[in-house]
């Protein structure tokens, strides 16, 4: 039995059997946490392997064979399609927003205004942007482009053959295998 120090929360004294029982359950819990950690690591490795099959092995094999689609014996359909992902790195926000505005895509940028308003001034919220400075409210402004909007924009630009700064928008493009079950 592992050493177990029990802090007393009442006048009740625990017997040796109770201490052993609690200690055993604590050790079982530690074992369960370790098993969960091991399974999560195993799942992570399986996901990496599946991604390798989806994005490299099968697309390469199908490309070499000259096919885009095929049907498996069980009726499942296999297709390789381009996959797009994009995310503006935090450190490149200003640069990316400037590029979007300069290239006619500023309407993708959302402006989020946050202000600290004292209690009892709810009626002024609708006029907030207009009167913030006059009333002396402290406010911050955040700009962002929704991830799905950016992804769709990148896909559209690439498919139309237009130039997009990949590093600025964190662009990732791969062919991805999609299997549709019968």
Residue 176 within a domain: yes
Q: Which domain holds residue 175?
A: 68-92+146-182
**What's the structural domain count of the chain?**
2
C-alpha torsion angle, residues 42, 44, 46, 51 (rounded to 10): -170
More confident residue, 17 or 123: 17
In a domain, 56, yes or no: yes
Q: Are residue 80 and residue 46 in the same domain, yes or no?
A: no
Whether the predicted pLDDT of 1 surpasses 50: no
Are 51 and 80 part of one and the same domain? no
In-domain check, residue 6: no
Please, what is the Cα angle at 53 between 170 and 73, to 5 degrees?
135
Tens of pLDDT, residues 139-168: 776 778 899 999 999 999 999 999 999 999
Cα separation, 166 vs 154, in Å, equals 9
Percent of the chain with pLDDT over 90: 66
Q: What contacts 138, CB < 8 A, 6 or more positions away?
A: 115, 116
pTM (2 decimals)? 0.60
How far apart are alpha carbons 5 and 117 in whole angstroms? 50
Spatial distance between the Cα atoms of 76 and 108, rounded to a whole number of angstroms: 38
């Amino acid at each position: 039995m592992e050493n177990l120090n029990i802090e007393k929360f009442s006048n009740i004294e625990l017997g040796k059997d109770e201490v052993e029982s609690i200690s055993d359950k604590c050790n079982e819990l530690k074992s369960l946490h370790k098993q969960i950690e091991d399974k999560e690591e195993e799942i992570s490795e399986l996901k990496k392997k599946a991604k390798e099959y989806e994005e490299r092995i099968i697309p390469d094999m199908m490309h070499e064979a000259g096919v885009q689609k095929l049907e498996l014996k069980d009726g499942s359909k296999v297709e390789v399609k381009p996959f797009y992902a994009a995310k503006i790195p935090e450190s490149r926000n200003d640069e990316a927003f400037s590029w979007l505005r300069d290239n006619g895509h500023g309407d993708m940028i959302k402006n989020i205004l946050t202000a600290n308003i004292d209690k009892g001034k709810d009626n002024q919220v609708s006029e907030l942007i207009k009167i913030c400075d006059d009333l002396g409210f402290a406010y911050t402004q955040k700009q962002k482009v929704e991830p799905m909007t950016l992804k769709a924009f990148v896909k559209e630009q690439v498919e139309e053959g237009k130039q997009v700064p990949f590093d600025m928008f964190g662009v990732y493009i791969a062919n991805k295998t999609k299997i549709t079950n019968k």
